[in-house]
Amino acid sequence: MKKKCELCKNPAKLFCESDQASLCWECDAKVHTANFIVTKHHRFLLCHICQSLTPWHGTGPKFVPTISLCNHCVSVSNHNNDHRDDEDDDDQDEDTEDEDDFDDEENQVVPWKSTPPPPVSSSSSNSATSTTNY
C-alpha cells in the first residue's frame, strides 16, 4: 500500500525525520517554509517504486520535485536490465553508434587558453640603486 501524505492524503513523496511525517511536495513546501527553524528539518525522499526511505536527504524551505529510488529497487532494476541487455545486445550496438555521432556534435571540448603569468619582478626600496631620473 502506498504511503499517503499526513495532511492531504495525496501520495507521499518524502519523509520529515523531525516531524515523523510523510508528506507530498505541496504540503512539505507549506510546512517547511513557515519559519527558519523548520527549514532545517532533515527530509528523505521516498522511493518512487516501494516508498521506502532513499539515501537522498536534504534540508531547506522547498524541495524540487524529484524521483529517487532506494538501493534495493536500484539493484533489482540493474539486475533486470542486465538480463534485458543480454537479449538486446545486437540492437543496442547499432543505436549507440548513431547516438555517439549526435553527442559529438553537441559536446565539443574547448581547450582553455593558458598563458603563464608574467614573472614577478623584485623591487628594491633603496633609492640609491634606482636608475630612474626625474
Per-residue pLDDT of the chain (134 residues; tens, 9 = 90+): 789 999 999 999 999 999 999 999 999 999 999 999 999 999 999 999 999 999 999 999 988 998 999 999 998 877 776 655 555 555 555 555 554 444 445 555 545 555 555 677 655 555 444 455 55
Sheet holding 21-23, edge to edge: 21-23, 14-16, 43-46, 53-58
The predicted model scores a pTM of: 0.57
Q: How many CA atoms lie within 13 A of 67 on its CB side?
A: 5
Residue 2, C-beta contacts closer than 8 angstroms, at least 6 positions apart: 11, 12, 51
Q: Using CA atoms, how far apart are residues 98 and 65, in angstroms rounded to an integer? A: 32
Which burial class, exposed, middle or buried, applies to 19 when counting CB atoms under 10 A from its CB (0-12, 13-18, 19+)? middle
CB 79 within 8 A of CB 70: no
Structural contact between residues 19 and 37, judged by C-beta atoms closer than 8 angstroms: no
